[in-house]
Chains A and B, each alone.
Chain A
């Protein structure tokens, strides 16, 4: 279990790995002349961590006090986005002419993508893998919450009644993941390790996934075969990014395909589900409950019907908002920066046409020898068609 716990070792010894990164940054040393990086957004932890990790030896960070300072044209070759203001970033891109690279400290980048960015030739990277574990824990919690019938007990508590009922095993359930990527594989890994559940998943390009993602789930399919997952899963987890094809993905049709006792969980983007259809599905008993971390409108207006529903669990986009949030993002940023400085290529590169991190890893070479049998079969099927 020590080997398998490698992922956890990396995270629990965050201090140690931070020190290792700072050492690596110091070994590479200051490159003459250092490029300028604009830091968009104010947060007191960012300059602290940049100094601590030694990032300012590889690149000079530039901080701004006011918006006007930021918009003045200068030789910024890269930018680190710390806040989430789409208009600011659009203006910044139009004003600065020598921008080559933008790194976002969040995993979801749908709000940065605009036509200007696509036509400008700037490369965009995100914080892939930084929050996967926090979201995995949240999915585990959601499963256990409904398996042990806590919404029912909370209801009975208000009336001061003692009402024992039969309760389920969470380890005998089947989980279906829609939008299998880094977050999906981290959830699958945690669920296997703790409860040993059966996991089925679907993704857009399953043949291009890394091998270690494949080992975590039991069955991986193409996204056209979502019906098999929805019809057989007890817990449906949606981890879809916001793109043109995923807006309004979870509508009444899809809820009707799910089982009556199924629980729907959304940790991707709120726009991928239709709120009205979800409310009708819950009221009419088409599905049994929902666990939502994201909503189509944030903040969700107080008039929404989801607040009053007893079988809905809501966390307000806080599943990844942990106490070590900044240390995690800055660690991934340091990884990407070190890789760029050493090789000139980018990790975590976003495919601007698709709108999410394409699973074709441009920087790392593929390993054709180790492709597993499942991928081999899928590839064969494609050729036949």
Chain B
């Protein structure tokens, strides 16, 4: 049922005779290409693969592509080349309407050409990686509750030292950047630990279903207030010009001295030198980090040697079924695109993240000039089956 996007494509919707043209920016060995074939998604589009900037520059202009799919995560393509490739591609394709990114964080794709071209909608894989990140947050909370740094230290010294341990029940957790990932962590922590959750949002507004889970919802000005009350601070912020270097020494000083800082958003939101100073001088008690300012973290960084830090080299979202999860999202968006429905995981390019969901307003995009009769029938059938 969760995979209804694929079900639509395999069983209910017939492939239209009009296949549109799509460009896929990836390497030839990527597993996603096999996944596209096994799921029969190439019945709806003709695709071509681009792996280097030169291939894009040698494209005939104006190109015929209507959509673009970015699968650059974990490939040999240099991450600094990707925005260049996108720029060149956008300049040469006036028919481009849709760009889909395999990852949830799309901050590396923004450029002025993308912001100026108002006909393009950018979608990401929102919701695909939520559960893996929430498990990491739970691990960090329990790791520091059960005083594991002290146990690991005494194990290395072959000593049998007993410690007093905390309960994780009823802890206060602050989630800064409450979106899809933040919601799922809130639900999980409430179920597992009956935690009190203080969330921070851009607008400070919340839906009815959030009221049962949260004890407090605020906006940017409430951050210092929340940090002073909370035992665990979870940073789930995206990388935008507004959120750059938010966590500096001032904010660390406002946290409790027994507080733990967990970062699963983007490393650019934290000033890493200030974090290291805060950990060394005892301003905060520990940290659980999945993302860093510079990745890979250089070997000269003092974070490697600190005992009260739990490190994971950006691997919590690298689960075995990572590809399946992102492909599910892509298939759903594809079914929306072909049926002429509005796309769901749209990223607001000016703000840098998905803004539309929270306002709860319907958005309409015309992807095709006019829907044909066959497409209207298909969308009606799909809607009724969904119900």
Inter-chain contact A167/B319, CB cutoff 8 Å: yes
Inter-chain contact B320/A168, CB cutoff 8 Å: yes
> Is A60 among interface residues, defined by CB-CB distance under 8 A?
no
Chain B residue at minimum C-beta to C-beta distance from A160: B299
Alpha-carbon distance between A300 and B13 when the two chains are bound, in angstroms = 65
Which of these binds chain B: A75-83, A94-102, A131-139? A131-139
> Is A31 among interface residues, defined by CB-CB distance under 8 A?
no
Q: Which of A134, A163, A164 contacts B167, CB < 8 Å?
A: A134
Inter-chain contact A144/B167, CB cutoff 8 Å: no
Alpha-carbon distance between A137 and B170 when the two chains are bound, in angstroms = 13
Inter-chain contact B136/A148, CB cutoff 8 Å: yes
Mask: chain A, 153-186; 1 = CB below 8 Å from B; 0 = not: 1101110111111111111000000000000000
Chain B residue at minimum C-beta to C-beta distance from A161: B299
Alpha-carbon distance between A140 and B140 when the two chains are bound, in angstroms = 12
Alpha-carbon distance between A41 and B145 when the two chains are bound, in angstroms = 29
A145 cross-chain contacts in B, Cβ below 8 A: 139, 143
Chain B residue at minimum C-beta to C-beta distance from A137: B168
Question: Separation in Å of the A129 CB from the closest CB of chain B?
Answer: 15
B156 cross-chain contacts in A, Cβ below 8 A: 307
Chain A: interface size category: 35 or more
**Contact A165:B315 (CB < 8 A) given known A144-B142, A307-B155:** yes
B141-163 residues at the A interface, CB under 8 angstroms:
142-143, 145-146, 148, 151-152, 154-156, 158-163
Q: Which of A160, A190, A300, A315 contacts B146, CB < 8 Å?
A: A315
Q: Which of B132, B146, B192, B310 contacts A169, CB < 8 Å?
A: B132
Inter-chain contact B131/A171, CB cutoff 8 Å: yes
> Is B296 among interface residues, defined by CB-CB distance under 8 A?
yes
**Contact A314:B304 (CB < 8 A) given known A164-B318, A167-B316, A298-B160:** no
> Is A65 among interface residues, defined by CB-CB distance under 8 A?
no
Q: Which of B146, B299, B301 contacts A319, CB < 8 Å?
A: B146
Chain B residue at minimum C-beta to C-beta distance from A163: B313
Question: Separation in Å of the A62 CB from the closest CB of chain B?
Answer: 28
Inter-chain contact B296/A321, CB cutoff 8 Å: no
Inter-chain contact B163/A12, CB cutoff 8 Å: no
Chain B residue at minimum C-beta to C-beta distance from A190: B192
A133 cross-chain contacts in B, Cβ below 8 A: 167, 169
Chain A residue at minimum C-beta to C-beta distance from B189: A194
> Is B76 among interface residues, defined by CB-CB distance under 8 A?
no
Chain B residue at minimum C-beta to C-beta distance from A149: B315
Q: Which of A161, A167, A195 contacts B132, CB < 8 Å?
A: A167
B80 cross-chain contacts in A, Cβ below 8 A: none
B160 cross-chain contacts in A, Cβ below 8 A: 298-300, 302, 316
Inter-chain contact A147/B314, CB cutoff 8 Å: no
A296-310 residues at the B interface, CB under 8 angstroms:
298-300, 302, 307
Alpha-carbon distance between A133 and B165 when the two chains are bound, in angstroms = 13
Alpha-carbon distance between A134 and B193 when the two chains are bound, in angstroms = 12
Inter-chain contact A194/B192, CB cutoff 8 Å: yes
Inter-chain contact A307/B151, CB cutoff 8 Å: no
Inter-chain contact B163/A318, CB cutoff 8 Å: yes
Inter-chain contact B135/A137, CB cutoff 8 Å: no
Inter-chain contact A148/B192, CB cutoff 8 Å: no
The 3 closest A-B pairs by CB, nearest first: A194-B192, A162-B296, A299-B160
Known: A11-B169, A299-B160. 15 other contacts (CB 8 A): A8-B194, A148-B316, A153-B313, A167-B132, A167-B319, A168-B319, A169-B320, A193-B191, A315-B146, A315-B148, A315-B151, A315-B165, A316-B162, A318-B165, A323-B165
